[in-house]
Amino acid sequence: MRTLRVDVLREFSHERDAYTQGLLWWDGQLFESTGRIGDSTLRRLDPQTGEVRQRIDIAPQYFGEGLALVDERLIMLTWRAERAFTYDRDSFEPLDTFRYQGEGWGLCLDGNRLVMSDGTDLLTFRDPVTFEPIGEQRVRLRGEPLYKLNELECVDGAVYANVWEDDFLVRIDLDSGRVTDYIDAAGLLQGDDLIGSEVLNGIAYNPDAETFYITGKWWPKMFEVRFVE
């Protein structure tokens, strides 16, 4: 297993009211889902400035969670309501609703299947059309279960994951469930930026630039980074 660090290429503004749950990149845009009962939203961001270009509020009884893009559909999990809502990628118009059992935390598309976390050490694979479970994988760090897997980002057949309440990220081999990279992301926020902020959360990958975007819950900044030795 490699130990990597975060090399910050640039930082830019992130809305303080965003309790970031899911983050993804598509076609020069960032999409973000935010959580908390009564405050959950779906947003489109300008990745150069962090400006919110489009947003909708989720029904106030739902706690928004992870976000994935399948073709022209955005799929957004909820924490304990056992529902995933889908939206048109361009208009944010509501589409279908999927049902699932257990909690919803993180979600990403690895090309052929969705990968979902539920706050344990388990990743569930789901059909991207029907949302039905089609497999699963337990995750291990140094041979031990790695719990509290949260926001996910699928990159080149592997999954990068936030670990709830920790300042590190991991890269997971989906075939074995083994953590191949441990990424130290401590210390990104400094000084007054820490006031009112919560934990590191949110990973998006830009394949054109081969960079990642990372942020946190109620963070005033987002960072474009690379993971390096």
Model confidence pLDDT, tens digit, residues 9-64? 999 999 999 999 999 999 999 999 999 999 999 999 999 999 999 999 999 999 99
Q: Is 194 exposed, middle or buried (0-12, 13-18, 19+ CB in 10 A)?
A: exposed
- Each residue's pLDDT tens digit, 102-129: 999 999 999 899 999 999 999 999 999 9
* Prediction pTM value: 0.96
By three-state DSSP, how is residue 194 classified? helix
- The widest CA-to-CA distance across the chain, in whole angstroms, is 46
**How many CB atoms sit inside 10 A of residue 127's CB?**
12
| Amino acid present at 10 | R
Domain count, the chain: 1
| Amino acid present at 219 | W
The CATH number of whichever domain residue 123 belongs to comes to: 2.130.10.10
Query: What is the residue range of 106's domain?
Result: 2-228
- Each residue's pLDDT tens digit, 128-172: 999 999 999 999 999 999 999 999 999 999 999 999 999 999 999
Q: Are 227 and 181 in contact (CB under 8 A)?
A: yes
Predicted local confidence at residue 78, as pLDDT: 98
Predicted local confidence at residue 148, as pLDDT: 98
Q: How far apart are CA 70 and CA 188, in angstroms?
A: 31
Predicted local confidence at residue 130, as pLDDT: 97
Q: Which residues of 57-94 are buried (b: 16+ CB within 10 A; e: fewer)?
A: ebeeebbbbbbbbeeeebbbbbbebeebbbbebeeeee
Q: How far apart are CA 65 and CA 184, in angstroms?
A: 24
